[in-house]
Structures are given as C-alpha cells and as structure tokens.
C-alpha cells in the first residue's frame, strides 16, 4: 500500500463510496418501484423496463448481488481509510479511533442514507437505468450468489417462509378505490366519478336501481277503451306494462309507437291490442346489477320486472337505470312533479316525493343519506320515526334536515329537504 500514491488511495476511497452508493440507491429504487407501473412501462417499451422486470422476478438473486457488492465495498473502504490515516499521521490509538469515526460517517451519509432517500424518491428514473449495470453483474457473480443464497434459503425453509409466495401483488377493490381517489390531478372528475361508481355496482342489486312499483306507469287492460287510448296518446314512455285488474297480474309489455301506428292504419280493438303485447321478462328480487346487465345483453330485453319470492311486482328496471348508476342521470322530458329536477332553490330547499329512491336522491342532490337499509326516502323516514307522522315533522338524518310536508295512512307523500351547510362549502371549494 505504501507504493501507491496518497492521492490515488484517496481517489480510490471516493470511487468506492460512489460504487457503494450505487448499490444502495439501486436496491432502494428496485424495492420501491411500483410493479403495476413497471408493467405498464414494459408494455410501452420503455428503456430498461423489461430488464428491470426480469431482475425483480428473481428477487433473491437481485438482493444477493446488491448486498454482496455493497457489503464488500463497505468492508474495503475502512481498511483503505485506516491505511491512509496510519500513513499520514502514524500508528496511534487516537488516529485509529478518529479514522474509524470518519469512515463510518462517510459510509452512512454518502453510501447509505443519501442514496437510499434519492432511490425512494425517484424509483422509476433510477431503477430502470441501473438494471443495465446490475444484470451483467448478476450473471458474473452467479456462482457466489448461489453459494450465499444456499444458506439464506435453508434458513427461510427452516422458518417455513416461501419467498415466492408474496411476489405477486394483487390489489383489492378498496385499494383500487384509493388509487382512483388519489388520482385527482391526473384524471378528469367525471372519469374518476364513473370509476368509483363502477366499484359501487359490485355491492348493489336491482332493488337499488329499479323504478319502485308505485312509480311505474302501467296500463290497465280492463279499463274503458277510451281511457286506454288516451293513456297511449299521452304517456311518456315508449313501452308500457299492461296488467289486468291488479298490477301483479301482468299481461305483457306494450310497444307504444307500434300500437299508435296500428291505430292510425286500422281501428284498434281490445283483442288486437292483446296481440301486440310482448312477453313480460321477470327477474327475481336481489339479482346483482352486474349479473342483470349481462342478462339484458344475452336476452336482448330492455325492460325487466322485478318480483319477490311470492311473485308480487316490486319494480321495473332497464339498462338505462343501471347505466345511470355509472354516469349519472340521463336527460328526460318526463315531468317529476314534486320530484322536479330543478334542484336546490335560492333558500337551499328542495321538495321531493317520499317514494324517491335514496340512491337517486343522493346522486341528484349530492347527499350522503344511508343506502344500506331502506331503499326509498319514505322507508328511511319511517325507519327513523318508527311511525307514520300525522302532521308536519322535522327530522335530522346525518347532516341532512328533512321536513315531512304531506302524508297519509300508508306512506309519506312529500317532504322538504334542506341543503346541508357542508355541501355548500364543498361546492364553493370545487369552483
């Protein structure tokens, strides 16, 4: 060592610190790299992505070459630094102690902490280029890595640990939801809302999206024929449910446009009207929404009648009702009466029908009323009050204040919803 110039030894220490820092920064960057983003980069043909994928597929060998290189360098650096100190200041215990402290400081700061912080901060920018250096080293040091891993794998086997078992990363629905929520700066608000609604579809059934029985526009086949014709000419739907006497006795589905065309061509009679009825399509209550959407695709049906276990009609569901859960309400010309789509007035109030589904109300007015129990506003109020109110009653559900305006012996007809204060703040913040 004495024949080597002092400047060369100091230069060697600096180079070794740099190499040790490279192994540290590469190790941290490789471990901090997002596997799903790496897969996306590899599919796009990004520089070094496939090489990095290959390294991460053999984590034991990757860590072997990194740690062997790092520890070997961190062992050589103190020896070389001590040699420099002894050559410069002589053989003294104080010199050895100071030299040991200085080399420990250099290794911790320049070869460990700083590189690892940088590697954790910029994993993509560091791991991909570094893979072109580590991959050849892994092939060169393969015998050494095999020998070292022979002992580490034996210890893992004794501890009943399978290093290959936790390699594949699977994201749960909640984790995906969190990723979407955190992508506010990368994804348009509407797209993010659709993705979040898509996750919610896994937990809802046709009962949550159907048009309730009381709101179904249906035609009584036993009604006077003049009333039938008048209803056909003034209805707001292209298809009507036709029943006989009781809505639970469904005869079929009537295509209004075809019926009106037949009315103009010839005199329409009651029996010819029966011949125009299409076979009703029934689905059981509790059918998952995703499954029902698939049924619509396979059967090419557009109207499904939801029935309970006793065969009683509960509601009506269409593909549009399911799609509205994803992308929001479609524009419609149907008058809503007290459920008008004008939304909040200047006083922060809104008059709605008690029969309105809670999911629809939440989506329309941006509320957060609970939907894990009753499915309509009437049901939620009756569950909260535990009775049918006889007069005007005001109730607070969460942050929403609701006043009952009209009710009868069976149900709550009309309510007034007051805009929560937090909703106004949230909207102004978004604006």
pLDDT of 335 reads: 45
Residues 191 and 234 in one domain: no
Q: Which of 327, 345, 364 is the last residue of a domain?
A: 327
On whether residue 280 sits in a domain, the answer given is yes
Q: What is the mean pLDDT of the chain?
A: 84
Residues 109 and 223 in one domain: no
On whether residue 301 sits in a domain, the answer given is yes
pLDDT above 90: percentage of residues in the chain: 23
pLDDT band at 179 (very low <50, low <70, confident <90, very high): confident
Residues 243 and 345 in one domain: no
Q: Which of 306, 327, 348 is the last residue of a domain?
A: 327
CA gap 38, 135 in Å, rounded:
17
Total domains present in the chain: 4
Residues 73 and 132 in one domain: yes
Where would I find the H helices in 280-419? 289-299, 319-327, 358-365, 377-385
On whether residue 332 sits in a domain, the answer given is no
367: containing domain: 337-430
Residues 311 and 183 in one domain: no
54-110 confidence digits (pLDDT tens): 888 888 889 889 999 999 999 999 888 888 888 787 777 887 888 888 889 999 999
Strands 304-307 and 349-353: unpaired
pLDDT of 327 reads: 81
- pTM listed for this prediction: 0.59
On whether residue 114 sits in a domain, the answer given is yes
Residues 280 and 417 in one domain: no
On whether residue 165 sits in a domain, the answer given is no
On whether residue 166 sits in a domain, the answer given is no
- Give the chain's largest Cα–Cα span: 121
Residues 13 and 89 in one domain: yes
Residues 180 and 88 in one domain: no
CATH code, 256: 3.10.580.10
The residue that leads in pLDDT, 407 or 332, is 407
Residue 117 has pLDDT above 80, yes or no: yes
pLDDT of 114 reads: 93
Residues 19 and 142 in one domain: yes
| Surface-to-core class of residue 75, CB atoms within 10 Å of its CB (0-12 exposed, 13-18 middle, 19+ buried) | exposed
Q: Which strands make up the sheet holding 246-255, listed edge to edge?
A: 218-220, 239-244, 246-255
Q: Which of 327, 356, 391 is the last residue of a domain?
A: 327
pLDDT of 250 reads: 92
């Amino acid at each position: 060592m004495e024949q080597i110039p002092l400047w060369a030894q100091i230069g060697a220490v600096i180079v070794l610190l740099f190499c040790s820092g490279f192994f540290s920064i590469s190790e941290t960057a490789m471990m901090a790299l997002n596997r799903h983003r790496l897969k996306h980069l590899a599919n796009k043909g990004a520089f070094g992505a496939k090489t990095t994928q290959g390294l991460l597929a053999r984590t034991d060998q990757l860590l072997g070459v990194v740690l062997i290189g790092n520890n070997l360098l961190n062992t050589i650096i103190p020896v070389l630094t001590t040699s420099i100190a002894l050559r410069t200041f002589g053989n003294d215990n104080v010199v050895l102690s100071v030299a040991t402290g200085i080399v420990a400081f250099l290794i911790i700061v320049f070869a460990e902490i700083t590189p690892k912080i940088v590697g954790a901060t910029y994993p993509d920018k560091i791991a991909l280029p570094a893979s072109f250096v580590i991959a050849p080293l892994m092939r060169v040091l393969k015998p050494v890595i095999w020998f070292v891993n022979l002992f580490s794998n034996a210890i893992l086997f004794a501890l009943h640990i399978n290093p290959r078992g936790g390699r594949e990363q699977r994201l749960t629905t909640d984790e995906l939801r969190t990723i979407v929520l955190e992508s506010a700066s990368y994804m348009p608000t509407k797209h993010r809302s659709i993705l979040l609604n898509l996750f919610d579809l896994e937990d809802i059934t046709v009962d949550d999206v159907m048009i309730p029985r009381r709101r179904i526009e249906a035609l009584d086949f036993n009604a006077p024929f003049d009333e039938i014709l008048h209803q056909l000419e003034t209805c707001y739907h292209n298809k009507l449910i036709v029943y006989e006497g009781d809505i639970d006795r469904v005869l079929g589905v009537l295509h209004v446009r075809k019926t009106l065309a037949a009315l103009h061509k010839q005199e329409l009679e009651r029996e010819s009207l029966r011949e125009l009825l299409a076979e009703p399509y029934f689905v059981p209550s509790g059918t998952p929404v995703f499954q029902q959407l698939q049924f619509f695709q396979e059967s090419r049906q557009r109207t499904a009648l939801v029935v309970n276990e006793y065969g009683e009609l509960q509601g009506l569901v269409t593909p549009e009702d399911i799609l509205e859960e994803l992308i929001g309400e479609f524009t419609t010309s149907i008058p809503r009466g007290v459920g008008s789509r004008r939304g909040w007035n200047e006083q922060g109030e809104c008059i709605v029908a008690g029969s309105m589904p809670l999911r629809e109300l939440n989506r329309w007015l941006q509320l957060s009323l609970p939907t894990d129990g009753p499915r309509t506003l009437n049901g939620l109020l009756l569950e909260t009050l535990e009775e049918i109110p006889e007069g005007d009653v005001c109730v607070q559900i969460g942050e929403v204040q609701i006043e009952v305006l009209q009710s009868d012996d069976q149900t709550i007809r009309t309510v007034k919803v007051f805009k929560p204060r937090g909703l106004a703040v949230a909207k102004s913040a978004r604006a």
